[in-house]
């Protein structure tokens, strides 16, 4: 069910930077309160929150809640803060994510620097990448559903229903289909997240909770621009997708009943000549929908017989450099010992 963001409240994890910051900024511009849940805020995010703080004259409001999304108690706390500050939440985006960083990468096993996986503490014997990219969105979705169905402040928010809808918007990736060798854990989490979103499709019509996702291509965010080992894989011929464009699609998945997307030829069509998109089509927005977001283009990711990502904003030309470095480490001997 479509939900206008006007006058509503959103919880956005990872809102301190990247796509989630752009999404939070767009929500605020549309008169939607936002709880920023992150470990820290970049300067531009700090300024945005400050400009929409409780002490400012502006409306809507923004609140920052320091949150380590690997810790379930901290996820529960962000919902409590939303209850205290805004009387609850209507929109939840468990958007915090990492892209196979060296500190939690399959290619740097636990105990092998620079990996920090498996260190003593509450997250020992765990992969941080899995906890952040997959476990946290699943647990946050559970918490969101519970709060939607059992509001702590019933005077300000009635329980969710098809006539009183709520929305949960996830951030998947084109890695739900393509599988770059350099990022096995990341690939696994995005495959898992997309399957999770599809499985919750019936909630939309039956309960009034729309669970959907975007699957962005190569986005110009700190996940790339501040990771030298990833940035060197980009060439001048590769094109970025802007986080602002992704944010617009995310709002469409919340607010709209229909969206316009790229139309594709049948799966039997020869795609060897390159990007063979054949125009536009209008589709219904409903629970379980996943939209790929490329350079200036949006398309529905089909569950079966999907042609896969292609075209500008979906390519990284020097990815072979990473593969070569990985094989070099493997061939040096002692890997994983």
Residues 136-195 pLDDT 10s: 999 999 999 999 999 987 667 899 999 999 999 999 999 999 889 999 999 999 999 999
Tell me the average pLDDT across 254-264. 92
> How far is it, in rounded angstroms, from Cα 186 to Cα 230?
14
87, 210, 221, 277 alpha-carbon torsion, rounded to 10°: -160
Give me the phi and psi of 211, to 5 degrees please. Answer: -110, 115
- 169: DSSP letter: E
Report whether pLDDT(133) > 90.
yes
Over residues 42-75, the pLDDT tens digits come to: 999 999 999 998 766 668 999 999 999 999 999 9
Please give the structure tokens belonging to residue 118: 């498996």
Q: Concatenate the DSSP letters of all residues of 196-242 into one string.
A: HHHHTTTHHHHHSEEEEEEEE-SB-SHHHHT-HHHHTT--TT--PBP
Question: Beta strands 91-93 and 62-66: pairing type?
Answer: unpaired
**Sheet containing 209-216: which strands, arranged edge to edge?**
62-66, 33-38, 9-13, 91-93, 166-171, 209-216, 290-294, 297-300
**Closest by Cα among 191, 194, 242, 192 to 218:** 242
Measure the CA–CA gap between 133 and 30, rounded to whole angstroms: 28
Share of the chain above pLDDT 70, in %: 93
Q: What is the largest CA-CA distance in the chain?
A: 64
pLDDT for 269: 44
- Highest-confidence segment of 13-17, 121-125, 224-228, 333-337: 13-17
Element (H, E) at 331: helix 319-331
**pTM metric for this prediction:** 0.92
> Torsion angle, CA of 40/63/32/21, rounded to 10 degrees?
-10
Q: Output the pLDDT for position 228.
A: 78
Between CA 107 and CA 181 the distance in angstroms is 10
The arithmetic mean of pLDDT across residues 72-97, rounded, is: 96
pLDDT in tens, 275-313: 444 588 999 999 999 999 998 899 999 999 888 888 787
CA 264 centroid distance within chain: 25
Residues in the chain: 337
Query: Where do we find the tokens 């059992």?
Result: 150
Side-chain half-sphere of 56: how many Cα atoms within 13 Å?
13
Could you identify the residue written with the tokens 């063979």? 276
- Yes or no: say if 59 and 31 are a contact pair by the CB < 8 Å rule: yes
**Residue 155, pLDDT score:** 67
Query: Bridge partners of 294?
Result: 297
Predicted confidence at residue 251, as pLDDT, reads 98
The radius of gyration of the chain's CA atoms, rounded to the nearest angstrom, is 20
Average pLDDT, the chain: 89
């Amino acid at each position: 069910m479509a939900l206008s963001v006007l006058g509503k409240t959103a919880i956005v994890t990872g809102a301190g930077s990247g796509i989630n910051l752009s999404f939070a900024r767009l929500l605020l511009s549309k008169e939607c309160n936002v709880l920023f849940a992150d470990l820290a805020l970049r300067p531009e995010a700090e300024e945005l929150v400050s400009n929409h703080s409780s002490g400012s004259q502006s409306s809507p409001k923004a609140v920052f809640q320091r949150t380590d999304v690997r810790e379930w108690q901290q996820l529960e706390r962000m919902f409590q803060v939303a209850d205290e500050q805004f009387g609850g939440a209507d929109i939840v985006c468990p958007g915090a994510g990492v892209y196979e960083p060296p500190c939690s990468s399959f290619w740097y096993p636990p105990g092998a620097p620079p990996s920090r996986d498996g260190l003593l503490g509450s997250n020992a014997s765990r992969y941080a990448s899995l906890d952040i990219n997959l476990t946290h969105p699943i647990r946050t979705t559970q918490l969101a559903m519970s709060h939607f169905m059992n509001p702590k402040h019933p005077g300000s928010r009635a329980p969710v229903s098809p006539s009183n809808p709520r929305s949960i918007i996830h951030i998947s990736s084109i890695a739900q289909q393509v599988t770059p060798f350099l990022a096995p854990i990341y690939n696994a989490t995005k495959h898992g997240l997309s399957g999770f979103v599809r499985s919750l499709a019936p909630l939309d019509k039956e309960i009034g909770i729309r669970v959907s996702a975007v699957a962005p291509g190569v986005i110009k965010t700190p996940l790339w621009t501040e990771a030298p080992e990833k940035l060197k894989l980009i060439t001048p011929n590769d094109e970025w997708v802007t986080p602002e464009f992704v944010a617009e699609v995310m709002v469409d998945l919340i607010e709209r009943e229909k969206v316009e997307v790229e139309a594709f030829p049948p799966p039997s069509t020869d795609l060897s000549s390159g990007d063979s998109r054949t125009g536009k089509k209008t589709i219904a927005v409903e629970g379980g929908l996943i939209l790929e977001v490329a350079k200036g283009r949006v398309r529905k990711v089909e569950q079966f017989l999907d042609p896969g990502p292609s075209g500008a904003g979906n390519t990284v030309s020097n990815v072979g450099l990473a593969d070569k470095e990985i094989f070099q480490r493997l061939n040096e001997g002692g890997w994983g010992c």
